[in-house]
Structure 1
Amino acid sequence: MAHRAGAGIPCVEVAFVGAAVGVRDSRHGGGTHLDFGDVAWRTFATGVKGGLV
């Protein structure tokens, strides 16, 4: 899953791979990335949706 935005707006790519979720900066695809377990990802996503993050 990827989200595109206009120039100067941060974008991320999210990949669901087995029980892990990978996140990276879509403008620097060859750079570093973060890996989350499914529980950590759900907690983060719930926080974003609830305006806590």
Structure 2
Amino acid sequence: MAHFPEQGWSLLCNGVLLFEDTGELLPDGQIIAPHKPLGTHHIATAA
């Protein structure tokens, strides 16, 4: 495993690249889109 928080990614022992935004790049090239939940400061409300 390699961890590079200053670059926003980690390499797991199974070959998966894990990105800070929760996206993933699998060893077979498959992409898993980021799925980080939005914080409350990103939610807009209508008045």
Q: Same fold (TM over 0.5)?
A: no
Q: TM-score, normalised by structure 2?
A: 0.36
Greater fraction helix = 1
Q: TM-score, normalised by structure 1?
A: 0.34
Bigger Rg over Cα: 2
